[in-house]
Amino acid sequence: MSPSFVVCRDGESVPESLKGAVAAIGNFDGVHRGHQYLLSMALNSGKPAAALTFEPHPRTFFQPDRPLFRLTPEPVKLKILARLGLDGVFQRRFGGNLAALTAAGFVDLLANDLQLSGVVIGHDFHFGRGREGNPARMAELCRERGLECLIAPAVVEGTEPVSSSAIRAALEAGDIATANRLLGYRWFVQAEVRHGDKRGRVLGYPTANMRLPDDCRLRHGIYAVRAIVAGRPVDGVASFGRRPTFDNGAPLLEVHLFDFSGDLYGQVLDVEFVGWIRGEERFDGIDALIAQMDRDSAEAKRMLAEDKTVSMIG
């Protein structure tokens, strides 16, 4: 993350670099192409450019019994926002106090607490208690307070707007190509490498084992991946699932990196998903499993060699 990129959280004074900023407002889960369009409008404003985002995701507050598959947990989201060239992020805790603000009270927060000079919102943006505010109301309230208000149109893929929901659905189906196309970059996860049962070494495929968040609903299967190790990209093949040939245990991401040897335990790795290879299977014997792993590796190398998708981490 750039040293000039600032994260301003609740209770913190607005840093000088963000005073008078134009802020794009949203949850930005995924920071997909639609989000990037909003952010580009802030970046092109001629003023400090920021995002205003919320943690936890508001849906978690309003529907606590429905786990939300987060495309970009907080550290990943901040990493992408910094990579896009913003001056910083205003991050506000979403709880009862924020949910109770009227539309007018929310715009007062923008003008007075955050000291913004303008905002960028989407065409379908709603805000304030009971979602009482809409883009037209935001424009009216901003005008009364001397703030600029820019309203972004929908970014469309085919006939459908690009959305976080569509990307979640693609990942749940294992459709990495569609997810990456809607994102505008390779979807990636960030996790610590943990000790495993060392079974991969015996099979000739040592792996870096990572536990993804419990809410991750990525389809279980085999993927072509690319990891960043010591600042450089390393191609690989990964399995995400329960290992039905062995223990059918808790879901685990197991990444085999090609042409790499070294100790990664305790390191936090970024792993990009480049392509879907096949679903998770149970094999009758080790020889059949190894033969399939050989084929998976060859297919992963082919996919990686042909992939032209943008990276947000390397």
Active site residues: 254
Burial of 224 (0-12, 13-18, 19+ CB in 10 A): buried
Alpha carbon distance 195, 208 (integer Å): 8
Alpha carbon distance 179, 159 (integer Å): 16
68 contacts 59 by C-beta, under 8 angstroms: yes
User: Is the four-CA dihedral 61, 57, 172, 200 of positive or negative sign?
Assistant: negative
Tokens for 28?
């930005």
User: Is the four-CA dihedral 288, 289, 290, 291 of positive or negative sign?
Assistant: positive
Tokens for 171?
């990942």
Q: What angle do CA 171, 51, 110 make, to 5 degrees?
A: 135
Which DSSP symbol is given to 155? Answer: P
Residue 122's nearest CA partner among 75, 170, 162 is 162
9, containing H or E segment: strand 6-9
Using left for φ > 0, alpha for ψ between -120 and 50, and beta otherwise, residue 301 falls in: alpha
Phi, then psi, of 74 in degrees rounded to 5: -45, -50
